[in-house]
Chains A and B, each alone.
Chain A
Amino acid sequence: MLRAAVGSLARKVSRSHLSHSAACRISTTSSCQKDVDYMDFPGGKVPFTEDLAWLGPGFTPRPTIPCYRALDSQGAPLPGTSLPHDIDQALATRMYETMISLQAVDTIFYEAQRQGRFSFYMTSTGEESTAVASAAALNPDDVVFTQYREQGVLMWRGYTPLDMANQCYGNALDSGKGRQMPVHYGSKALNFHTISSPLATQLPQAVGAAYALKLEGKAAVAACYFGEGAASEGDFHAALNFSATLSAPVVFICRNNGWAISTPASEQYRGDGIAGRGPSYGVPSLRVDGGDAVAVYNAVAEARRVALERRGPVLLEAMSYRSGHHSTSDDSSRYRAAEEMAAWRARDPVARFERWMAVRGWWDEARGVGARKAARREAIAALAAAAKQPRPPLSEMFSDVYDEPPPHLVAQRAEVEAFVRAHPETLPAGMPLE
């Protein structure tokens, strides 16, 4: 009712603009002094044209947004690259070691899931540098929202393989109390909002968080990660539009890895990827080679600077390839060619970064081998330690639904505890009552 009324009002306004101007144009004895060449619309000034001209594919296509990179596909530095943010040896070493650790965890944890040690896992294979290099360019005060394939961000911030193993096992040391599926990490101390499965829901949330940071006067941004498939959700649209109109300092980082489970990007959108959408929302946008840690670091550091300086949003699209399966519940050989996967695996982002470090004399093979061995040992030890922990007590099934359990939850907790006392065999192994 109300909406219809508002809509018709808006149409009337725009019609009156048009008809007035048209009358002036066709009049030969017009009293119109001089016609304006734009429409002064509440949404902004719109220039007029006499050409009935379509814009877009098949008519006047815009050029594809280029992909910013600093390294070639083999890791050789490209001359003339704009690199406003320096990566020194200490930073590069830490980035490298974090990527190595992420790869080791992914390999070992994936295998552990295949052996049935826990229920589910998702790897970051092919996208290690997107997560780690972007995290390195953020400030610890920046608040992070992610989708689920960004555990490298958490690892950069200090989340250990043991923390990850505790969550995957859902044991008593899991800060999430064993309530969510594996890889749904979160850490208040590390400013990393707990992951949830529904795709793209975190996008408008990150905008609200960024707005709060702005009101508090903090020199911090909200960084929000998502895949190109999630960008098809309505929440992407909501987030981009809200971030622009409400001037929220949020850095959107899209991981365009070409696939949303079995759906190739060609069936996901027909525009110029995700970066192509940003300017239409009034959001400055940039496309970057997600497999190039040097480029990702520079792009994100610059995005953060721009977001803080302008107190507004920035959109990055990190182009990469999901070299692993979607998850442990997926066999991606059923929908994509082995050659395609092999070609991309050959562009391993960690190997690219290694070569860049080698050019600078910051890396040697023996050290790399040692680091990989140590990372594997740590991942294996983490799984062994996590497996020994008890589960969270049954009572935690009812806590945190609300701040305090209301009477009906108190009663239901008593009911399940009575049931378990009558049938002790139904209590999951390793789970105490209290």
Chain B
Amino acid sequence: MAAILRAPGLGAVWGTVRGLATAVRQAEPATAGLDAKQMNLCSAVNDALHIAMDENPKTLVFGEDVSFGGVFRCTVGLAEKHGKHRVFNTPLCEQGIVGFGIGAAAQGYSPIVEIQFADYIFPAFDQITNEAAKYRFRSGGEFDVGGLTIRTPYGAVGHGGHYHSQSPEAFFTHIPGIKVVMPSGPRETKGLLLSAIRDPNPVVVFEAKMLYRTAVEDVPTGDYSIPLGRARIARAGSDVTLVGWGQQVLVLEQAAKELAASDGIEAEVIDLRTLLPWDADAVAASVEKTGRLVVSHEAPLTSGFGAEIVAAISDRCFYSLEAPPLRIAGYDTPFPLVCEPLYLPGVQRVVDGVRRLLRA
């Protein structure tokens, strides 16, 4: 898979995003003052995993092919440093991986399990929705699997076709009892992943696989965390609120730049970071200010998480809205191979959508 990421031929849409992601971004005040070094997203994940394994001897890392470092190299060096009893390969069976993780978590361990691609998380759907999510509730709080963290690479990658591109987050935001986290870059990923690992609830973390190698920025080398359930204003603006998560945040940031340069439209970009529970207050506050809402995600439109945001914000901000909220998403088809550039809600689609919205 690493070879695939290095291969040329990413679509024009992603070419511009990659340029943006590669640029060094300014450190947030919360992490200012910490020593930092350039890391890509994959190194940021690896760094977080090393910190988690150092601080808690009951932290385990397992899944398919994690022992030699993982097919995306996120688990490099863990087995050598922390022992093969704590970092190990499992048989190729997703329901087994999550079920095994639940059992270890119920005994007080902190398993960080890897599902090789989010497209392959569905065999474990039963263990996640019927078991992990309900373990605490159904036992009256006597048992819980709060130590469990599920990491999985998600999203478009240029040529992943049906089963190496999916964004299944909306299936999981419909599950009371779990948390769903989708970081947007290396620094965000390390801080959010550490919070997910330490959170006393089962958490699913979708990692932007397009950004594993392409996104590089200053990431604090020490321990820091970013709270779950809190959105981030990625770019301040006054005319329209753009909400996204994961690698789509970079598309929205790029679109906001273009809108400012070409139309003088100042878009506020919100990186939602956590989808369950999501920061409705932050989005509502922004929409109260701008009067317009655009939500954008790679996943298909119908019943995507954008629908939840639009419904909730329409309810909360009805009198502040100056135009109908707009969703710019993947189409309601399986993720296509050769049509990927048209399928994705890229920069141009977002720019066009915002222009339409502001004319309305």
Which residues on A are within 8 Å of B, measured CB to CB?
1-2, 143, 145, 174-177, 179-180, 184, 186-188, 193-194, 196, 198, 201, 203-213, 215-216, 222, 234-235, 237-239, 241-242, 245-246, 399-403, 406-409
Of the four ranges (under 10, 10 to 19, 20 to 34, 35 or more), the interface on chain B belongs to: 35 or more
Give chain B residues whose Cβ lies under 8 Å from the Cβ of A186: 138-140, 142-143
Stretch at the interface among B48-56, B125-133, B217-225, B234-242: B125-133
Chain A: CB-nearest residue to B99? A204
Q: Sorted from nearest, which 3 A-B pairs have the closest CB atoms?
A: A208-B103, A204-B99, A238-B96
Cβ contact within 8 Å between A205 and B100: yes
Cβ contact within 8 Å between B99 and A209: no
Bound Cα distance from A196 to B132, whole angstroms: 11
Residue of A179, A206, A407 touching B103 (CB-CB under 8 A): A206
Given contacts A2-B116, A237-B93, A239-B96, contact A201 B142 (CB under 8 A): no
Cβ contact within 8 Å between B107 and A400: no
Given contacts A245-B90, A403-B144, contact A212 B104 (CB under 8 A): yes
Count A/B pairs, Cβ under 8 Å: 165
A-B contact pairs, 19 of them (CB 8 A): A1-B161, A1-B163, A174-B140, A176-B140, A176-B142, A180-B138, A184-B138, A186-B139, A201-B99, A201-B130, A204-B100, A208-B102, A210-B103, A212-B108, A234-B95, A237-B96, A238-B95, A239-B99, A400-B140
Which interface residue of B99, B138, B143, B281 has the most chain A CB atoms within 10 A? B99
Bound Cα distance from A187 to B143, whole angstroms: 9
Q: How far is the CB of A143 from chain B (nearest CB, A)?
A: 7
Cβ contact within 8 Å between A399 and B104: no
Cβ contact within 8 Å between B139 and A207: no
Is the C-beta of B109 less than 8 angstroms from some C-beta in chain A?
yes
Cβ contact within 8 Å between B4 and A1: yes
Cβ contact within 8 Å between B103 and A400: no
- Other A-B pairs, 16, CB within 8 Å; known A177-B141, A196-B138: A188-B143, A194-B139, A198-B131, A201-B99, A201-B126, A203-B99, A208-B100, A208-B101, A209-B107, A212-B103, A216-B107, A237-B93, A237-B96, A241-B93, A399-B141, A400-B136
Is the C-beta of B318 less than 8 angstroms from some C-beta in chain A?
no
Cβ contact within 8 Å between A179 and B137: yes
Is the C-beta of B353 less than 8 angstroms from some C-beta in chain A?
no
Bound Cα distance from A238 to B93, whole angstroms: 7
Given contacts A184-B138, A408-B277, contact A403 B100 (CB under 8 A): no
Given contacts A196-B130, A234-B123, contact A2 B71 (CB under 8 A): yes
Q: How far is the CB of A218 from chain B (nearest CB, A)?
A: 10
Bound Cα distance from A237 to B277, whole angstroms: 34
Give chain B residues whose Cβ lies under 8 Å from the Cβ of A212: 58, 103-104, 107-109
Bound Cα distance from A1 to B176, whole angstroms: 33
Give chain B residues whose Cβ lies under 8 Å from the Cβ of A2: 1, 71, 116, 164
Is the C-beta of B244 less than 8 angstroms from some C-beta in chain A?
no
Cβ contact within 8 Å between B146 and A246: no
